[in-house]
Structure 1
Amino acid sequence: MRRFLTGLIVLAVCVASLAHTPQPVQAWKAPNLNTNAWSANGDVNAIVQDGNLFYIGGSFNFIGPYTGSWVALSTTTGAWDNTFPLVEGTVRAAVPDGAGGWYIGGDFTSVGGVGRTRLARILSNKTVDTNFTASADGIVNVLLFDSATNRLYVGGQFTQINSTSRSRLAAVDGGTGALISGFAPSVMLDIDPASTAVHALALNGGTLYVGGKFDRINMNGRNNIGAVNTSDGTTTTWNPNANSTVFTMALDAPNNRLFIGGDFTLVGSQVRYHLAALPLDSSTPLAWDPEASGSVYAMALSGSTLYVGGAFFDIGTEFRSRIAAIDADTGSVTSWDPNANGIVRVIVPSGSSVYVGGEFNIIGNQVRSNLAMLNNTTGSATSWNPGTGGAVHSIAISGGTAFVGGNYRHAAGVRRTHLAAIDINTGRPTSWNTIVSNGTQTANVQALAIQGSTLYVGGRFNFIGGQPRQNIAALQLSNGAATSWNPGADNNVQAFATNATTVYAGGQFTNIGGQPRNRIAALDITTGNATSWNPNADSGVLTIALTTSNTVYVGGVFSSIGGNIRRFLAEVDLSTGLATAWDPAPDNSVHSIVVSGENVYIGGFFLEVGSVPRRYLAQVRRIDGTLTSWNPDPDNNVYALALNSSTLFVGGDFTQIGSQARSRLAAFDAATGNLRPWTGGVNSTVRAMALRVSQLAVGGQFTLANNAAYTHYAMFTALPIDTIGIFRPDQARFYLRNSNTTGFADIEVALGQSDDYPVAGDWNGDGIATIGFYRRSTGQFFLTNANVQGAPIVYSFFLGNPDDIPFAGDWDGDGRDGVGVFRPSNGLIYLKNTLDTGFADFTLILGIPGDLPVAGDWDGDGRDTPGVYRPSTATYYLVNSICNSCVIIADFSFIFGDPGDYPFAGDWNGDGRSGVGVYRRTNGVTYFRNELSTGIADIDIVYGIGNDLPIAGYWGAPPPPPSAPESSASEPSAPEVAPTFVPRQ
């Protein structure tokens, strides 16, 4: 691309508009949440960016799609079928309805967006049954469906079903959910009514066996186990009398016996440790007596083998950790030994496999997150590995699908303990995986930093990257293994700053790098030893920011540092370790610091800085520590700050900032200090943020992002980057690409006719540009709201005359694009804010015959303004305002491209300001420039072929990848990608 000479100034003479000029309202495109990104099942406290990756740290142990608490998983691949209704809450029980659907019970409030309180029916067509309206006022633990009578038996901790009194046991109609009026047994623990619960049910003929925690059924004394008649709910004479809770049952009707498991040690007068077999016609236990060393929560009978799971470590004299197989006739333990490292709560044999759920992360000699498929001969885990982010309580197998319920919100993801690498393009974890643990206590990663090829990790842990490391470590970015660098800290590490020779660490420690160091230290980047630098903070250090002036800014909860009284914020000399004279003096803790030119942004818990009111967020001059006039005044704490070339992002607990509503996230223009109209938001605390170009990663304690279910981690488009598209007239087909690189089209849509002009804009304010066309023969616009084949025409209206040239822009700053037409014969431009037939809102003269129109937000004020490109001289003429009855001078005039090129415009770098581009129709080469001045292209690519017409816009997040790393689970189906399109090379 050749360098060009400076362009000429052009006058734009405005003529009277046909409509009054509306008052502009500043607005940006709405921030776009990356809906392909996965989220975490625990807090995210730290994020750092490196190349195309975000490294995140926190208290999580699983990352995956938000699935709700009941999922359908392929028994072959583990892929999640996301077409089933999403359940919000906990699912403890699920049984088939006999018609291809399911009854579910637990502690949930919503199923598929429909209000359902702890009971629901999902039909075979994957919709919520609106006719089944049963509800419970307490947790449902167990369900049993009797297809012969169309009854659903319900057990749990409730006192009412359908607002009618039912104590922990009820029966409802399988079709409507209405109570069965003749069945109303009362189950009660009189010595502790609130603890009463039914945990297990078994049906044999007209007898329903009941297990749980109770001391009577109806008015009959029954300790933790009993039976009722299904005809009228009366208590039978069967009374085994267990001395503690019965959690599980397995009926063996052909052999006239019922296996039970739980917390008991006596059944009747017989010693039975947690396992027993009872005859159906007698209350006296059978001689069968395997003896488990701890609670039994799960049972499943398969032939002559009884699988048991729970919290035990031994069965009889054999070591069996939480899961075992027992001979149902002799009580002897088989050699089958999967050896789980956590509680097993459900077991389901199926063919040659045994499905197991619970609260484990190792079973069958493999890492598995709460869910596994085991070989029924060897006990080894198979390759099936969808995993869940929390406890699994129920599993049911139907055909090729495993239906899994529990207390989780994520499934079909990957296990990542407290640390993960997220691919910025996909929003999903890479294969990079390291284990972080803290013995029997909870581990937590609180600080991250990258220097060269090393990731520095701080927090609360004693093992990481395969090595013992106390609260601080260095990991290889290539494989996650710990390096030999091992300073060791005696308490939490919560902050880092690094340069080529030194790692500066802050936190709660008093000893690190082999030396006494109070809460802040400098560590040799090679040896890990503490240097002589010793500022000696008297309380915790929470944030550190290096400067280019041989100093470091430090924030935290201290009142003394560097040998001087410095409350919460200080500048420390890197040579001496002494505090400088700089002393802004906030009145409470500082949690985040960002250096920007001659100023420093600080966020925290303070209400004043230097005795001047400044709530939670302030800008301080570096030269003397005094406040600037900038006063965004959030209404609550600020924990995180992130800055790029144009924007300061702020995260915390606030719901209002800059006198406007913002939910824990806000964006400010770094040049003017004005609040951006960017409105990304979450529903609880933001603790960490990181930026890469247009992607903003956010971590914290939230469960919703932009009102969508994203827990603890979310990715926003910080400022949408526009990308190239072309319209091929001879095919009447659009080819859209999600990056400004040479490559295949991501989206292909046939729309319009060969002589139509293409147009694209954000017509509905959702932040995504969608395509349309202008019929030059009639002067009519046809616009869609989706970039998919077959999308309907949503807007159809007339503006202009035949042979006018269309373009689009947000003329009034309301976040929605309007349209315009340029009249080649006389240089008239007509702009309209609304997408309907009618007079133009603005009419002005800009350009001469033969020019081509463009529009963009040239100055970043949130409003688009027009411009023209003169193909004869390859010159752009752009204006920053729209006027009526006035004369204005072009604000930008410059040469870019070659004569005959075709213009387009967009925000190529995410700075909130539009750049320009030219498309060389002779060969399909496209050139992009960020600055509105003569100069060389910032990007050039090959895309399209001769005579294509260019368009640009933010087409939305890229499609998800084909599969998840290190998991047999597939992600939700991706949008169909366009057929292969090869740009001209």
Structure 2
Amino acid sequence: MTSSGAADLGGLRQRPPSLPAGVPAQRAAAAAGGAWAREHGAPVLGPDPLAAAVAGDQVWVGGGFTYGVAAMASGTYQRVAHWDGTGWRRMGEGVDGTVHALAVHGGDVWAGGEFTVADGRVQALRLARWDGAAWHAVAGGVSDPERTYGTRVAALACDGRTLVVGGVFTRAGDVPAASLAALDLATGTWSDLGGGVASSWSSEPSEVRALALHGRTVWVGGRFDLAGGAGGVPCGGLAAVDLDTGAWTPAPGGGLTDDGTTGGVTALALDPATGALHVGGSFTRAGDVGAWNLAVLRDGRWSSLGDVSSYGGTSASVEALAVSGGRLFLGGGFTAVGGAAVEHLAQWDGAAWSGVGEGLDNVVRALAPVEGGGVVVLGDFGVSGTLRLEHGAVWTGTGWRTFGQGVLSDPYGGGTVSAVVPVGDGAYVGGLFDQAGHLPAGSVARWDGTGWDTMAGGVGAAISHGQVFAMLELDGDLYVAGRFDTAGGRVVRNIARWDGAAWHPLGDGLSDAAHALAAVGGKLYVGGTFALAGRVAAGHLACWDPAAQEWSAVGGAPTYDHDIRALEVVGDRWLVVGGTFQRFFAQGTTVVEGLWGLCLFDTAHEPSEDLLRGYHLLEGVSRYGAPGWVHALRVVGGDLYVGGWFDVAGIMALGERPSAGFPASNLAVWHFAGDGTWEGVGGGTDRQVQALAAVDGALVAAGWFATAGATGAARVARYDPGTRSWEPLGDGLGDGARGGSWALAVAHHPATGVWVGGEFPEAGGAPSANLARWGGPGPEGVSP
């Protein structure tokens, strides 16, 4: 069922003059080809990360996590995850127990820990290999037939020829092995590597906690005092073994001691430039040198780099060490190193200790060097100063870089993107958030294709955060509207202009929130809930003239009874106004009733004292018999598409031809350039539409819906006017750990694709924190 018409509120003409006619709708492409980009995941790691391995820009992470990674649903990442330099990838079904160690060489990643099954089906006793696509058992793994507790792999090292495995076990495959074994990768055979390690004080298996390769020699650290098995060479928690001969060399001076007893080693890091071995653990002496929990072995001699302490005592823990860029990085649970007050993460530059960034608020569990002098840092922490780094990040050497470049307002990926303006290789992004990737932000920021610009701090509010609802680029400047009091620290009221370097107010601003922007004839039209624009009575709709730097009313400035939520321009003249309104008021008196959420204003109209001169009626929408909500308006070809929350469209209560309308599920179209009729759009959507975009002659709709027409489409879909058919954009948006998702903004750029903003943790199955991009050049979609 269709309907037609519009009416001048003054003369009650059914159709306004001078609307563009005969504009053909461009035929849309046959397929919405593309994939979801993956760079904008939430910068959040799951709790209990314990191990990291790095190769180039690739990072593999292991631990005890099964939820919380990038705000994805529980079980998405099962104790292991792969960061490919842009986004997270699943490693199949992961493993069924905690991962304590990772090693990478070539295209293979080895994981060790407490698990017995990998990928949900592969028997892998505490050791498994990931080849990039699937998990494999590793030569029978490691075990202890006599014990049902404590068996684990705690350390791994690989040089491409040999995989060295340390932990707590008595067998490697079918070979007896005392907590240490070596696997020949060419033959797949195990050796006990010089008889392993043992403790004189216990018949239980000893523990190997750390390994460091230096050529074909491997340093072995842990809690033991015999190298070479029960009858081996005395040592104090540290010894070196030759991978080819199995010969042991104990650490000099009796190794490490703790108040007269054997000390324990928890971390090792070898400096490849000098050969110096840095040792961390629980001890008070290294050989004959006093050293609390940290020491360095260089050219066969021990020395101290300063004591690692916790509130003045020796109970501090050293959990991780790494050498990168000529610096030693130290992670654990401590409050001071070498007299310098640093908590949980510190760096040694060869002369002095210092903190890293603004420090971390909890224990660091793992470190791994990265190219350029930085380190991957994992642990129990949540913040560095005011910056959220939930359980993991990369210290680049000069600053923090998060895993994921999404926008968020809490540690778990919450936040809102309500407006997106694509520009260049990236986009301006506005909404409600206080962090963009690794940078504090004020609800608006620019993504340049590789990183974030926080635009001089963005917008703020006296109470809580400022919020951006709409953005528009005009004459090279960005106009931002919403609910905020400052921009870049400068006082503004709910609207501001960004010139690329600084923020500027628009006169005295707006008295309340603004929700919609449109540009006609070089002027900016603003809709919202405000009564005043500057000092001009506006009644929810106003015009800003950038040339004159002044506000003016629209027409005779009738007051809308409810919100204006959408604005669109037809033919560079006609301003379509949409929202939740039903009436025009003037001085408290109803002037017009029966607007049904839509009307039309002629911007070429000369100023007049006539309150309604220049306004025209449009057929509107309703929901359950009451006025419907119009959230979005978009012109595609010669058609105006209307999106929102309604079940009937085409209602005309006034004018020459009143109409009861026709069923329409949240979408309708006005063929203004054709015969002027209205109709539904491809069966509509099952829930409300929040945003619309024109994409190569097609329409992209975004909102709360799960289906468009009869097509499953998770929150975003593409409509082809030529075939009148819907197509999903891949798997759309997902709920992740949040349990709910919705899109609030959509925009298109021919070079970068379709940008979608809202409240969601994933797009196409990959982490995407409230911002996602479909199609165009860039990273491929997530793998299964």
- Output the TM-score relative to the length of structure 1: 0.41
Q: Which of the two has greater strand per residue? A: 2
